[in-house]
Amino acid sequence: MCLDCDNQSMKDLKRRHLMKLAGLGLAATGIAPIVLASETKAPVAADAHGADAHATEAPAEGSHDAGSAHVAAPEAAEAKPAADPHTAPAGGLTPKQALAKLKEGNRRFVDDANACAADLAARRTELAAGQHPWAIVLTCSDSRVTPELIFGGVTLGELFVVRNAGNVLDTGALGTIEYGTEHLHAPLVVVMGHKKCGAVAAACDVVKKGAQLEGSIGKMVQPILPVALAALFTSEDFVGQTVRNNAVSGAKRIAEESPIVSHLVDNGTVKIVAAVYDIETGEVQFIDKIA
């Protein structure tokens, strides 16, 4: 099963169906030129999404999930004509397609949560009365860094998660952490950076190359700049060192800037650690000593 590839699989099914028709000599109806045009423009996008790798799964998926999803989600079906990977950005989906995919995913979750994990439906019911997360995770918004997945597939109600690009400890993040520790009584706070972080790399470019960042991105990475500056020339892996130091710095600043959390740390109720996630190996390296 590959929930992410439903749309792509359906497109592939259509594409392969058309190719089959062309192979059977029905191309003279006018289908063939369309297929050929698509094929000549699309190979990179198709490969980038691993569509070919999922080709063997497509018939089974198309027989239930995708079919029912399209019945229930006309907007998703409408998006298909625009499902033109040639004009789409790197992700391969247009904004409209991405939104439709999100809606489909959420619909699957609501209709049959067990399709995602064994006990999500039960947990959803259990948690309706209240949450008691056991860890707070401040991490990057990077789509490869999903705490619930990388921490062993923990279910609903376990992690209280704060995310932004570069896992920056801004006011929103600090307030969220205060809420999670003080009111939800989460006993652990993890500030987790990750290897190959684009936000940290951008901050490093500002420091090292004088790069100018557009829009609000420059402001967003400002808290990373002093960390990057301090790491400059300290390691051959400038970005990697800054990622690590940024996580440690964020973890340290929590108690320094929040009397609420500091009090909980002092009385042993809360522990704060830093961590770095390796997006290649899947390993999380914890840094316990942040002082």
Among residues 100, 140, 270, 273, which is the contact residue for Zn ion, using CB under 5 A? 140
Nearer to Zn ion, 203 or 273 (CB): 203
Minimum distance from CB of 45 to Zn ion (Å)?
24
Cβ closer to Zn ion: 33 or 282?
Answer: 282
Q: Which is nearer to Zn ion, 140 or 168 (CB)?
A: 140
> Shortest approach of Zn ion to residue 212 CB, angstroms?
20
CA gyration radius, the chain: 23
Residues 170-229 interacting with Zn ion (rule: CB under 5 A): 197, 199
What pairs with residue 102 in β-bridges? none
**Distance (Å, rounded) from C-alpha 137 to C-alpha 277?**
12
Give 247 or 260: the residue with its C-beta nearer to Zn ion.
247
Q: Contact, 13 vs 66, CB < 8 A?
A: no
Contact 190, 160 (CB under 8 A): no
**What pairs with residue 276 in β-bridges?**
193, 285
Closest to 278 measured CA to CA, from 237, 249, 221: 237
61 is a site residue for Zn ion (CB under 5 A): no
Shortest spacing between CB 168 and Zn ion, in angstroms: 10
Q: How far is CA 252 from the centre of its chain?
A: 25
Least Å distance, CB 233 to Zn ion, is: 23
Q: Which of 6, 12, 142, 158 binds Zn ion (CB under 5 A)?
A: 142
Least distance (Å) between residue 166 CB and Zn ion: 6
- Alpha-carbon distance of 277 to 279, in angstroms, equals 6
Residues in the chain: 291
**Based on CB atoms, which residue is closest to Zn ion, 5 or 239?**
239
The answer to whether 277 and 190 have CB atoms below 8 angstroms apart is no
Rounded to a whole number of angstroms, the minimum distance from the CB of residue 239 to Zn ion is 10
Q: Closer to Zn ion at the Cβ: 85 or 250?
A: 250
Q: 162 - beta bridge partners? A: 138
Residues near Zn ion (CB under 5 A): 140, 142, 197, 199
